[in-house]
Structure 1
Amino acid sequence: MNLFRSLPHGCTPARTSTGCATLGRSTLCQRALSTTTLVPEQLAGTAPAHRCYAFLHTPQPPSAYPTKYTTPVQRKLLLATAPWGGAVNFAWSPSQPVHPRPPNPANAEQSQTYHLTAFSSARGKLEIEAVSLANVEEVARTLHAHIEPRTTASGGLSDCDSESEPNDLHLYVCTHGARDCRCGNTGGAVARTIRAELDKRRERDASDPSTRIKLAEVAHVGGHK
C-alpha cells in the first residue's frame, strides 16, 4: 500500500526510515513508523522521486484497473515528461472531475479525454481540464514549465503560485489490487476508513477543517518490496 500526500504549499515532509520518497511538498510513503533517519537510497521499497507527478482522472476506481493499466494518452504523456523527471499515473475519486468514457468502445482508448491534476515542488498544484492525444505535446510543455520556480518583478524567486491551494491537503492512496494484493487489501481499507471519517466529520460540521482534505485512489506507484 502506498500513500501519496500533497502537503500545503511551503511545507517539507519529515523523513522516516521505511519507504518514503519526497516529491517537493509531497511524499510517497509505505509503512512509515520509525523515526530513525536514513539515506533515502538505502531504504528498501522506496518509491522513486519525481520533479512533477501528474494524475489522469478515470471514471473507474483502481480496484477495476487491470494488472498493468495504461492508455495511449498516458503512454505518450509519460514518454514526453519522463526525460525531465515527470511521472504520469491514474487517479479516481467520487468527487473529482472526470470526462465520461467515449460512446464507441472499439475506439475508446484512442479518443479518451482526461482531466489532469499535477504537483511540483516549485509551483504546487496544477489543474488541466482536458488532455487527449490531440494536445499531449502542449500539455507536456505546460507541465515542464510547472517545475520551474516563478520569478518576481525584481527577478527573485516567488514562493507562491496562483494554481496552488495552500489550505488544501491532497491524499492519494494506492488501491491497485490487481497489481499488488497488499494495495487492494490494505490500501483499500485505508481509503475507506479515511473517506468514512471525512464524511462523518463533514456531516457533523460543514465548516470542519477536514473539508480541506482531498482524498483519491491511484494506480501502482512503484517502490513495493
Structure 2
Amino acid sequence: MEASYALLVRYGPDILNGFGITLLSWVGAIALGMVLGFLIAVVQLSAPRWVRVLLRIYIEILRTVPFLVLLFVLYYGGPYFGVSLQALDAGIVSLGVYGSAYFAEIFRSGFAAVPKGHVEAADCLGISRAATVLRIQLPQMLVIIVPSLVNMVIILSKETSVLSIVTVPELTAVLTQIGSEQFIYAQTLLVLSACYLLIVGVTQKLGSWAELRIGRYLAR
C-alpha cells in the first residue's frame, strides 16, 4: 500500500498538471456558458417572436442532446464544416455551449421572478432598457438564482471528466493512465474523488458567501 501511494507522489507533477487543465477547462466553460446564457436570456426579454422561437429551439436541443454527443460533433465533426479545434479548445467550447442552455434558463427564470412593477416604473422614469436590466433586474434576480447557478457550475465541474475521451490530458485522463500503468486503480480513483470533492466543496462555500453578500447589499 505504501508503495502504491509512493508512486502517486512520484507522479505528483503530472497529477497537478492534469488538475490544472481540469480547472482551466472548467473555468473557461463557465465563463463562456454564463456569457452566452445571459445574452440569450436578455434577448428573450424583448426580441421578436421568431427570434425567441429560434432561441427556444437552441435551448431545447442542447438540453436534450447528451454532452458527450455534442463533444463528438464539435471535435470529430467540426473539420467537415471547416471548424478544426484542438482537443482542449473543443472541450471548453462544447462544455460552454452545453452549459449556456442551462444558464439561459436560470437567468430567464430569475428575470421572470422580478416584479413587473419595478420594470414598468423604470420605463416611466425614462431609464434605458440596458440600465433597467443591469441596475434593477440583475441585482434582484441574483439572490434568487445563486443556488441554481452554483448547482450548474458543480455539474459542469464533473462533466470535465468526459473530456478525457477526446484525449484532453485533464485529471481523469492522467489518473486513469497512471492506474493502468502501475495497477493502482483504487488509489487513483480515491485521489480523483478527493480532487472533485475539493472542487465541489470550494464552489459551495463561494456560492454561500456570494448569496450572503448579495443579500446584504440589497438590504441596504
> Is the shorter-chain TM-score for this pair beyond 0.5, marking a shared fold?
no
Of structures 1 and 2, the larger Rg is shown by 2
**Structure with more of its chain in strand, by fraction:** 1
**Structure with more of its chain in helix, by fraction:** 2
Higher relative contact order, structure no. (Cα contacts within 8 Å, ≥ 6 residues apart): 2
Q: TM-score normalised to the size of structure 1?
A: 0.27
